[in-house]
Amino acid sequence: MKLATWNVNSLKARGGQLLEWLNEEAPDVVCLQETKTEDAGFPYAAMADIGYHALHSGQKTYNGVAILSRRALFSPHYDLPGMDDGQKRLLAATVEDVRVVCVYVPNGQAVGSQKFAYKLAWLAHLQAWLDEEKRRHPRLVVAGDFNIAPEDRDVYDPEGWREQVLCSSEERAAFRALLAAGFVDAFRLFEQPEKSYTWWDYRMLAFRRNHGLRIDHVLLSNELATRCRAARIDKRLRAKERPSDHAPVIVELDER
């Protein structure tokens, strides 16, 4: 099973690139974030035409998550229990024997802000819910935009970003707590190129300079991690005209 996660930064702006990429890369399962559309605007028919089942949980203008799959999607779950404010940031479904959770973790804006407090609360609720979800579904994937660079090696300028949002001790502690509860960062199961990132600012020629952060992740429950054969970042999309500011992360899992 080839599983990918990609923050598209608006499905309407990126629909063409998404279709092209699905045809080229042919992933079995895709988690999308920041679709920025209500469900009525989701291209279910276009997805079905190229052989993908789709679930979407969206809202106007902000957030929005989707799961695409070549195989049928079962037992959908919408929204993070305890965070019932209408922000569409979590969607889960079962594909064959794997439970897939698509997440768009809040950005947090700035350390100490109200949005930062919301981010930490969201992560605490995620941790609690994943504990239950992993008991129900031991073969669990959590894929998405975590808005956390876990370590200094995931940041192009660690000193400049020291204790800034996406890199702060509190956010990194929350990420480590997720791993400690029984997950691994699929990307780090394998030797990877230095300076591997998944997001580059649109400004300041950041992509050309590789001024990026690794903030999009695929976490595998320990039981599933033994089936992981590869993990990589697909930088090609970020180099296209009118790109998303995020690149996809792709993992390959052995069939059961």
Partner DNA sequence: ATGGCTTGAGTGTCAAGA
Q: Which residues participate in catalysis according to the annotation?
A: 104, 145
Q: Does 13 bind DNA (CB under 7 A)?
A: yes
Binding residues for DNA, total number by CB under 7 A: 29
**Near DNA by CB under 7 A: residue from 67, 95, 199, 251:** 199
Whether 103 and 89 have beta carbons less than 8 Å apart is answered as yes
Q: Does 166 bind DNA (CB under 7 A)?
A: yes
Q: Does 168 bind DNA (CB under 7 A)?
A: no
Q: Does 114 bind DNA (CB under 7 A)?
A: no
Give the integer Cα–Cα distance in Å for 37 and 32: 12
Q: Does 215 bind DNA (CB under 7 A)?
A: yes
DSSP of 136-202, one letter per residue?
H-SSEEEEEE-----SGGGBSSTTTTTTSTTT-HHHHHHHHHHHHTTEEEGGGGS---SS--SEE-S
Q: Does 150 bind DNA (CB under 7 A)?
A: no
Give the integer Cα–Cα distance in Å for 148 and 51: 33
- Comparing CA positions, the residue from 104, 103, 176, 100 lying closest to residue 139 is 100
Query: In the complex, what is the shortest distance from the CB of residue 42 to DNA, in angstroms, rounded to a whole number?
Result: 12
What does residue 18 show for φ and ψ, rounded to 5 degrees?
-65, -50
**Near DNA by CB under 7 A: residue from 97, 160, 202, 254:** 202
CA distances from 83 to 106, 109, 112, 149, 217 (A): 12, 18, 20, 23, 22
Query: In the complex, what is the shortest distance from the CB of residue 236 to DNA, in angstroms, rounded to a whole number?
Result: 17
**Near DNA by CB under 7 A: residue from 20, 24, 26, 61:** 61
Q: Angle 33-38-40 (CA atoms, 0-180°, nearest 5)? A: 120
Give the integer Cα–Cα distance in Å for 56 and 87: 13
Q: Does 12 bind DNA (CB under 7 A)?
A: yes
9 vs 94, beta carbon nearer DNA: 9
**Near DNA by CB under 7 A: residue from 3, 5, 6, 9:** 9
**Near DNA by CB under 7 A: residue from 28, 36, 238, 249:** 36
Q: Does 62 bind DNA (CB under 7 A)?
A: yes
Q: By three-state DSSP, how is residue 23 classified?
A: helix
Query: In the complex, what is the shortest distance from the CB of residue 226 to DNA, in angstroms, rounded to a whole number?
Result: 31
Query: In the complex, what is the shortest distance from the CB of residue 114 to DNA, in angstroms, rounded to a whole number?
Result: 10
- Comparing CA positions, the residue from 81, 185, 166 lying closest to residue 132 is 81
Residues 223-242 contacting DNA, CB under 7 A: 242
Which residues of the chain form contacts with DNA (CB under 7 A)? 7, 9-10, 12-13, 34, 36-37, 60-62, 106-107, 109, 115, 145, 147, 165-166, 199, 201-204, 213, 215, 242, 245-246
